[in-house]
Amino acid sequence: MLHQYRNSAVLQREEEAHYELNGAISVNDLLSTLSHTPLPTILVVAGIAFWILAIAGSVAGKITVEPGKQKTAGLVGTAFIVLGLILFFAPGPINQGETETTTKTTETKRSDSPPTNSDQNSRPSPGVNCTGTGTPDEVAICSNATLIDLDWRLYGIYQALLRRLDQNQQTKLVREEASWVKQRGECQRDVSCLTAAYKSRIAQLQSVQ
């Protein structure tokens, strides 16, 4: 009789340990699942659970709410669902970051892309100030279609050559270009002088290529 009692006690302990282990595994699984579940989804599911409590008074027969508190459970459930939907549809920091990255990428592509015909016909390359506050030679270039065309031709040749050179050669070319711009400025508003300066510089860079 004593032996049977001991066996029964051992079995009971083993069953309790088994239930505790299963409970721990279930809790760990639940926590793992929740950690990978978006917060809006958790809030909506919690809100639905509170609605069930408000309507039925219990969930799975384990969680119960007193009749006087069912209305409160319904209000809490509604708040959770509304908050979850707001978080779901509101743009998050990740989306904003993606949008900013996309915008910057688009702007970079635009700056690297070759000028269109409308750009060439309306204004010179980015190195010429056409805001009305530029130097006399820049004012003359901005108002003359022939000079605008020559400026774009020089710009294209210069950029192509710059990409082919190593760092030291690029530094030298940039300095030479800055020196030429100063020489161009000596033409002031003289269109003939500016035209000759552009043609000379274009021929010079083409000879390097």
Instruction: Give the tens place of pLDDT for each residue, 143-181.
Output: 999 999 999 999 999 999 999 999 999 999 999 999 999
Tell me the pLDDT of the chain averaged across its residues: 75
72 CB-near residues (< 8 Å, 6+ apart) = none
Q: What is the pLDDT of residue 152?
A: 94
Residues 90 and 45 grouped into a single domain: yes
- Domain-embedded: residue 201: yes
Residue with tokens 């700056």: 111
Contact assessment for residue 142 and residue 130, using Cβ atoms and an 8 Å cutoff: yes
For residues 137 and 97, the model is more confident at 137
Cα dihedral sign, 44-49-53-56? positive
d(CA 49, CA 59): 8
Residues 84 and 131 reside in one and the same domain? no
> Is residue 107 in a domain?
no
Mean pLDDT lowest for which of 28-32, 68-72, 99-103, 184-188?
99-103
Q: What is the pLDDT of residues 59-118, one digit of tens each?
A: 666 677 677 777 787 788 788 788 878 877 776 554 444 445 555 554 444 444 445 555
Do 44 and 81 sit in the same domain of this protein?
yes
The overall pTM is greater than 0.85: no
Domain count, the chain: 2
Pick 6 or 66 by higher pLDDT: 66
Residues 132 and 88 in one domain: no
Distance between CA atoms of residues 192 and 184, nearest Å: 11
* Higher-pLDDT residue of 11, 47: 47
149 contacts: CB under 8 Å, gap ≥ 6:
120
**Could you list the residue range(s) of the whole structural domain that residue 169 is in?**
123-208
Residue 138 tokens read as 């820049």
Q: Is residue 140, in this structure, part of any structural domain at all?
A: yes
Question: Distance (Å, rounded) from C-alpha 189 to C-alpha 34?
Answer: 72
| Better pLDDT: 48 or 121 | 48
What the block records as the tokens of 153 is 């031709």
The answer as to whether 46 is a domain residue is yes
